[in-house]
Amino acid sequence: MLKITLAAFAIALPALGLVPNPAQAQPARVFVAAQGLDSNPCTFAAPCRTFQHAHDVVAAGGEIDVLDPAGYGLLNITKAISIQGHGFAGIAAAPGSNAVDINAGASDRINLRGLLIDGVGVGNNGIRFEGGASLNIQESVVRNFTLAAIEFNSTIASSMAVSETIISENGGAGVLVFNNGSSVMSVVLERLALVKNVSGVVVQTLGSGGQTNLTLSGSVVAGSSQDGIRTYRNLGPTTAVAQIANSTFANNLRGVTVDQGSEIRIGRSSITGNGTGFFFVATGSPGVIHSYGDNNLDGNTTDGAPTDTIPRK
């Protein structure tokens, strides 16, 4: 009688292909391409086709690399991730949708670079952030949305940095920062072109003791049908503080607007060609505009004046 020992059977199984491989770890880097397929493993040699599939395949904290120009579909981000779009990766929004939704964990960091994000006149928001530790956007274009190009909306302590980016022709704010909690939020905007949006930058706080600190530097805000920048507090003891340096506000309805419970400090900037240069909204507790005394404030229909002038030290 033929006997097969357990040891012999175990040796035979791999040769027969009957032993399943252990679950493979998610890759730290994946690739997308115009000719890719989402049935592929998302490697350099066999890239996948859409950002969403690549996001779902890559490990948390991993990176998606774009290999060639194409549109890569809408994206819902739920974990820490980096995307390298190299300046030719497109996302076109569908009617009534956001191009990129971000709702990640409290410690997750999201980095987006080199993306062309277009609302084609029908998408809601370009990038909408609702959860995560931080959002970093670089060298991108966000345009043609019916609402905000970038909406940073958080109830926890979060930060955002946007640099070297063009934000244009959106039906809401170019950058909308909304603090709806009791935490401190930090936003840094550097070397941006905010052109022909309803408003360039809007900072709004609503909550129980939170604060939003925003820095805008080296940027141009032009052609807004409302405000170049506006800060305000809706309710509660929250505050909004904006520090502006080396920037230009030109040909907006209002250049620099401060509303109740908020503060703007501005220096080495040009406020010109606007309907009103410095504008105070006369409701509730008045906001304040501190000038460092080295701005160019002229050529507006009404220049306005800062609350006070602070000498530079």
Quick check: 280 and 252 in contact, CB under 8 A? Answer: no
% of the chain exceeding 90 in pLDDT: 77
What CATH number should be reported for the domain whose range is 69-309?
2.160.20
- Return the pLDDT at 236: 56
**6 phi and psi, to 5 degrees?**
-60, -35
* Chain centre to alpha carbon of residue 72: 18
DSSP 157-218: S-EEEEEEEEEES-SSEEEEEEE-SSSEEEEEEEEEEEES-SEEEEEEE-SSS-EEEEEEES
- Return the pLDDT at 5: 41
What does the pLDDT profile of the chain (313 residues) look like in tens digits? 334 343 443 444 344 443 334 446 899 999 999 999 999 999 999 999 999 999 999 999 999 999 999 999 999 999 999 999 999 999 999 999 999 999 999 999 999 999 999 999 999 999 999 999 999 999 999 999 999 999 999 878 899 999 999 999 999 999 999 887 767 889 999 999 999 999 999 998 876 667 889 999 999 999 999 999 999 876 555 588 999 999 999 999 999 999 887 899 999 999 999 999 999 987 666 789 999 999 999 999 999 999 999 987 7
Q: What is the DSSP letter of 46?
A: S
- pTM above 0.85? yes
Q: Where are the domains of the chain?
A: 69-309
CA dist 82 to 12, 40, 148, Å? 44, 20, 22
- Residue 131 Ramachandran class (φ > 0 left, ψ -120 to 50 alpha, else beta): beta
**Residue listed under structure tokens 């020992």:** 5
- Return the pLDDT at 260: 82
Quick check: 166 and 191 in contact, CB under 8 A? Answer: no
Maximal C-alpha separation, the chain: 105
Q: How far apart are the first and last CA of the chain?
A: 99
**15 phi and psi, to 5 degrees?**
-65, -30
Quick check: 138 and 165 in contact, CB under 8 A? Answer: yes
pLDDT tens per residue across span 107-149: 999 999 999 999 999 999 999 999 999 999 999 999 999 999 9
Residue 230 sits at the vertex; the CA angle it makes with 228 and 198, to the nearest 5 degrees, is 50
Task: For residue 125, give the nearest of 159, 105, 106, 153 by alpha carbon.
Answer: 153
- Return the pLDDT at 16: 40
Alpha carbon distance 31, 42 (integer Å): 5
Q: 191: burial class by Cβ within 10 Å (0-12, 13-18, 19+)? A: middle
pLDDT tens per residue across span 157-192: 899 999 999 999 999 999 999 887 767 889 999 999
CA-atom Rg of the chain in angstroms: 24
Contacts (Cβ under 8 Å, ≥6 apart) of 5: none
**247 phi and psi, to 5 degrees?**
-130, 165
Quick check: 68 and 87 in contact, CB under 8 A? Answer: no
